[in-house]
Amino acid sequence: MCTRSPFPYVSIIFYCFQFVFESMSESGSEGLAELLKNQKDRFFADIDLVTMSDNYWLGKTKPCITYGLRGLCYFFCEVEMGSKDLHSGVFGGTAREALPDLIWLLNHLVDANGTIQIPGILDDVCPLLPEEEQIYKGIDFDLDEYQTDAGLIGLRFPGDKVNSIITCYT
């Protein structure tokens, strides 16, 4: 798809876009890597930028462009209760169990409202600006429809469209 520049004082400039729509991300995008390699000197020969978006629409009527996503942090946690495995028939009830302690630990990572309780983990997260909040308020998003479609009994922020959308991405 090509279009002329919307600026009348600029000589004719063409913007050319080439699209590849692939909808198999939930099953590993089988064949996508091979397609990209096979077409690098043909379809993608003059491409200056490639962007991939593995996201979803917020509603059912308007497509959206995602321009920011939440980051992911991966952690490893190992709970050891002793220097060797013990037989539960001999030591059960007298030795501490790793699973209940792990459950207790995980339960304390967030509070009852789902707010992360790890000191310092949100220090680098920028606060929401008032103009950003206004953008979220204008997004066509139906919380009731979202809850029904997801089969949820309740939402973390009932009736609060702005915080519900923000927490999808942050």
Residue 26 lies in a domain: yes
Residue 137 lies in a domain: no
Per-residue pLDDT, averaged over 58-62, amounts to 75
Say how far apart CA 124 and CA 135 lie, in whole Å. 22
- 85 versus 3: the higher-pLDDT residue is 85
Whether the pLDDT of residue 148 is over 90: the answer is: yes
Residue 120 lies in a domain: no
Residue 118 lies in a domain: no
Residue 45 lies in a domain: yes
Residue 34 lies in a domain: yes
Q: Total domain count for the chain?
A: 1
Residue 163 lies in a domain: no
- 7 versus 76: the higher-pLDDT residue is 76
Q: 10-36, pLDDT tens digit by residue?
A: 555 566 777 777 777 767 788 888 988
Whether the pLDDT of residue 97 is over 80: the answer is: yes
How far, CA to CA in Å, does 154 sit from each of 23, 40, 79, 166?
29, 47, 33, 17
Please report the pLDDT score of residue 143 as a whole number.
92
- Could you tell me the residue range of the domain that residue 1 belongs to? 1-54
Per-residue pLDDT, averaged over 47-60, amounts to 72
Average of per-residue pLDDT values in the chain:
80
Residue 31 lies in a domain: yes
- What percentage of the chain has pLDDT greater than the value 90? 18
pTM value surpassing 0.85: no
Per-residue pLDDT, averaged over 63-76, amounts to 69
